[in-house]
Structure 1
Amino acid sequence: MAEHPLAGQVITLTSGGTGGHMFPAVALARALVRRGAKVLFFTDARAARYTDDVDGVETIILPAGGIAGKGIKGRIIGALRLGLGTMKARSLLKKAKPAVVIGFGGYASIPATLSAKWLGIPFAIHEQNAVLGRANRMVAGAAKRIATSFPTVTMIAADDEAKVIWTGNPIRHEVAALANTDYDVPTTDGPVRLLITGGSQGARVLSEILPAALVALPRDLRNRLVVTQQARAEDLDAVRKTYDGSGIDVTLASFIDDIPDRLRDCHLVIARSGASTVAELTAAGRPSILVPLPHAIDDHQRFNAQQVEDAGGAWLLPQDRFTVDVLSERLTKLLQNPSALTRAAKAAKSTGRPNAAERLADMVLDLLGLNPAGTPDLENINIKDAQKTRGDTL
């Protein structure tokens, strides 16, 4: 068997410690290990657990600290920790001599990407959101490639646009497999399945508004609803009380452990618009109403939702307009219009990248000049090329 081009190569990945940064980074680590590489993973103490079960990956903990949104003392402490982390990263990179460094954002990624820049090691960055994150902005000018999860991303300098490639955002393989499934169009008299999720921590506003809005739907529509709703543990009793006696078939949980199955079967998702959520919805090709977290850094959740809405795959509903009356009226119109849901499902899938991890691994090969046969097109793709005819507006 021919040796894989990455056999014997050392690749360094670096990421902040939150799940949004770590999940795509770990997905790339697995893809690179499958291709024969040895992976050094630089992160902070919060994230070590994400790589514990990944063979072929050595995790290195760096001092790191955030700066944005902190007081003077917090900024000083964060800057000192970043300085210490950068010194450690530079020393380790000089010793390991990786072929390339890939950064996934978050302040813990800055030491390794800055060190790669100073040491002359080629590096690339991956952005999960539709707004280039602050850590990635610091090093984007020196990066060889800027991989994005969305067709267009704001806050990228004009001089860097030629380096942008749309790889998508890696997702769990159970959801990626849904790209091969068809959308189950709701019938005019059959069940209508809704999936409501607020992300890993839930979303209180969804628990406060959605149950009342669903109970306010016309009786014939309400009696057809099959609802799966995630809610914070402390909100479950109040949510359950609102649904009681409504005739709605509802499953409530503080954590939904079978999201891929629920996503496969649902007709509409109502959710926040974090990067991972949007990546899964578009890969699976499921229509959604997206309610961006209003206080997200740089308002990135609104930009995420706007990208999918512009492509026709979702309806953006800002939280200040997310009221019982507005939502009930909109759901009544939408759930009685299967053709609008079908068009939105098709449009959502057109912007999805279920093979994002492999596309990122191909990017690494391309950076090394290995150019494997069958590499997906790594050109920058403008959103106009991905847009489909917009479904009915709400």
Structure 2
Amino acid sequence: MTREPPTILLAAGGTGGHLFPAYALAEELGRRGFAVDLVTDMRGDRYGTGFPARSVYQLPAATPGSKRNPIALARASFTLARGILKAHKLLRSVKPAAVVGFGGYPTIPPLVAARMLGVPSIIHEQNAVLGRANRVLAKHAAAVATSFRKTKFLEGALAEKARFTGNPVRGVVIEAAKTPYPPLNQNGPIHLLVFGGSQGARFFSEAVPPALATLPLSVRQRLKLVQQAREEDVAAVKAETAAAGIDAEIATFFKNLPQIMADSHVVIARAGASSVAELAVIGRPSILVPLPHSLDSDQLANATNLAESGGSWCIEQRDLTPLRLATELGRLFDSPDTLSRAAASAKAQGQASSVGLLADLVGDVIGRRRGADGGTS
């Protein structure tokens, strides 16, 4: 009689920072013969990735608001409670060998249900700061996988559960990383990529075009710009870059973003965990502008880590005027050697093996559980 492969249930919210490492792990677990299911919130997959799971389930979830708004807090609590009940029913049906959560409040219902049913859980933290939902869930997790060797708020008994795996990246990123850094020829085209992650980065739409417009004409004529913009900003960004004589491709989303990144000389981006991980694995110099007012300044911590390695330059949004950006870009475009060194430094921080390490951890947790059960699944 053929034995069914163990099922691993992945829990991730609908943002790229949560979905992309979950996607990478799903790919690797599939290669290792596991069945993989995904549970997410009602946003679903907004990235057109075709998540590599046997089944995708959606559960209601909510982010608790401020305690100063008791009505909103009560609504969020009710939604989470409803999600836990539905997750309990789902886990009884799916019977996963383990549940792996990738942070965010949408992971609370399935991981709480896992604890209620005695199913081992693993948490993966993408940022250099342990997220608030993960702080709640880590106490009862079998293991906490980290993307950075030092993770803020991971201390005491929680630190004993930690295993450094790095932040997994998808197969398309590993493939793009095979492209060598294209040295900047002082008379050749300059490939510049600007993207803001799932937040859309209206700031970049407002700051980048006027910054580029102040560059010398000889530089603008060499620019090949690819920039992400919100739908309502696309027309304005196209008009401004065209008026400046810049060859630009402006869109709301680029499905082949990893390869575009690999073809770039410089990248301007937010400092979300997945963006930083992909920049490092591919090895591209970047100007990172952390999202201001993010909880616990997690993006600032992510950007600082890469900047300290010499692979990027971290500039906080409050300090990045169009004039400052134009000055920084002009300096980098005039120094191809600086860009090449930064590309090499970024790549030295890349962890292409992260997905294998995380899959190993899943196997270890399942193995410990089977051992505790006397070899049963």
| TM-score exceeds 0.5 | yes
- SS at 2:197's partner residue? coil
How big is the shift at 1:30? 3.3
- SS at 2:249's partner residue? strand
Q: 1:176 touches 1:355 (CA, 8 Å); kept in 2?
A: no
Gaps of 5+ in 1: 371-394
Deviations 1:164-200 (A, max 9, x none): 2332333332222122232111123322211111224
How big is the shift at 1:238? 2.7
Structure 2 CA distance for aligned equivalents of residues 199 and 14 of structure 1: 20
Equivalent residue for 1:273? Answer: 271
How big is the shift at 1:52? 10
Equivalent residue for 1:249? Answer: 247
Q: 1:105 touches 1:125 (CA, 8 Å); kept in 2?
A: yes
- SS at 2:148's partner residue? coil
Structure 2 CA distance for aligned equivalents of residues 311 and 171 of structure 1: 20
Equivalent residue for 1:28? Answer: 25
- SS at 2:43's partner residue? helix
In 2 relative to 1, CA 339–161 (structure 1 residues): closer, same or farther, beyond 3 Å? Answer: farther
Gaps of 5+ in 2: 369-377
In 2 relative to 1, CA 50–286 (structure 1 residues): closer, same or farther, beyond 3 Å? Answer: closer
* Matched AA of 2:165: T
Equivalent residue for 2:371? Answer: none
Structure 2 CA distance for aligned equivalents of residues 338 and 112 of structure 1: 49
How big is the shift at 1:140? 1.2
* 2:122 paired with 1:128: no
Q: TM-score, normalised by structure 2?
A: 0.87
Equivalent residue for 1:320? Answer: 318
Structure 1 CA distance for aligned equivalents of residues 337 and 136 of structure 2: 45
In 2 relative to 1, CA 256–315 (structure 1 residues): closer, same or farther, beyond 3 Å? Answer: same
* Matched AA of 1:335: F
How big is the shift at 1:284? 0.6
* Matched AA of 2:338: A
Q: What is the aligned-residue identity percentage?
A: 45
Deviations 1:72-102 (A, max 9, x none): 1121121122223223433544565432221
* 2:349 paired with 1:332: no
- SS at 1:217's partner residue? coil
Structure 2 CA distance for aligned equivalents of residues 267 and 52 of structure 1: 26
- SS at 1:142's partner residue? coil
Equivalent residue for 1:382? Answer: none
* Matched AA of 1:151: R
Q: 1:26 touches 1:50 (CA, 8 Å); kept in 2?
A: no
Query: Number of aligned pairs?
Result: 366
Cα-Cα RMSD = 2.7
Equivalent residue for 1:38? Answer: 35
* 2:10 paired with 1:8: no
How big is the shift at 1:359? 2.7
How big is the shift at 1:156? 1.3
Q: 1:291 touches 1:317 (CA, 8 Å); kept in 2?
A: yes
How big is the shift at 1:50? 8.0
Query: After TM superposition, which residue ranges in structure 1, 4 or more long, deviate above 4 angstroms?
Result: 48-56, 94-97
Structure 1 segment 101-140 matched on structure 2, within 5 A:
101-140=99-138
In 2 relative to 1, CA 335–119 (structure 1 residues): closer, same or farther, beyond 3 Å? Answer: same
How big is the shift at 1:292? 1.2
Q: 2:285 touches 2:346 (CA, 8 Å); kept in 1?
A: yes
- SS at 1:252's partner residue? strand
* Matched AA of 2:29: L
Q: TM-score, normalised by structure 1?
A: 0.83
How big is the shift at 1:280? 1.6
